[in-house]
Copies of this chain bind each other. A is one copy, B any other.
């Protein structure tokens, strides 16, 4: 499209040097009022704005933050994206969005691109699993962190050097289980997840630990992270009971899984919460609209994201090595667990 107007054009038309135009625009140098006005007139006449790629080159600052998330198909990550992007805008930054599917390791090539783009910083979030791909992703992140400001969300304390905001994911399972035991449940299964029982502060760990603490025997776990996964999980769970009595309550990895579980349970003729209780996680937008409305956990992810972005911006001035802040989930009670009074059957 047509040529862009440059600072030279403005300078010529205003009858001053480019330096003066630059000073007028940036506003951080003294310019005679009369000159300023003359320049501003031309500037507004053409809607002139300095090319950010040129200023980026000079100032070594692109005013752009990278957001690296797994596929946004999971609305939880959409929420994060929304929150991060909005806060960035508020802070006068733009956001470059990258979706890297879990498992696709953060290859050198990708990291190099981030560097080449001279981003001012990067926010990273994603689920981590026990397997090798996660380890290598983590490694990539740590490497990246040495090259540019980076703050991680929910990456747990695996890379101690990483400035991290972490939701207490283990506490999610704990809260869910406590809620259920208060309602009288003792046979509680965790459905969904991505196989991260070895890692600290995961829902899997939280489940295992809390069950042990209460002297309850955990059910074998089944992996899954979306609605179809949730269906498969309950099928799988009931298939590998091996004579053991079925659970009276399910803790889902997230609301998506819960949604799938709901469907499969209905298919199996089990009523929620009448026959089996269910608690989700993430408090996603559809949770109140499930049938029955889902009891779930709110992770306060928007607040986390806001803080993360602010932190990232302030990185430029402050040192955040090993910064960490923790967020506690809160239980949102709706009706998928029923009420104490209904539970005479334990």
Contact = CB atoms under 8 A, between A and B. Distances in A.
A142 interface: no
A137 interface: no
A289 B227 contact: yes
A142 B294 CA distance: 44
A97 B68 CA distance: 13
B72 A99 contact: no
A262 B288 CA distance: 12
Contacts of A148: 1
Given A53-B62, A53-B118, A289 B82 contact: no
Interface residues of A, number: 55
B82 A116 contact: no
A286 B57 contact: no
A30 interface: no
B86 A78 contact: no
Interface in A82-115: 82, 85-86, 89, 94-99, 108, 112-113, 115
Interface in A14-69: 47, 49-54, 56-57, 62, 64
Contact of A262 (B85, B89, B115, B289): B289
Interface of A: 1-2, 4, 47, 49-54, 56-57, 62, 64, 71-73, 75, 78-79, 81-82, 85-86, 89, 94-99, 108, 112-113, 115-118, 146-149, 226-227, 259-260, 262-263, 266, 285-286, 288-291
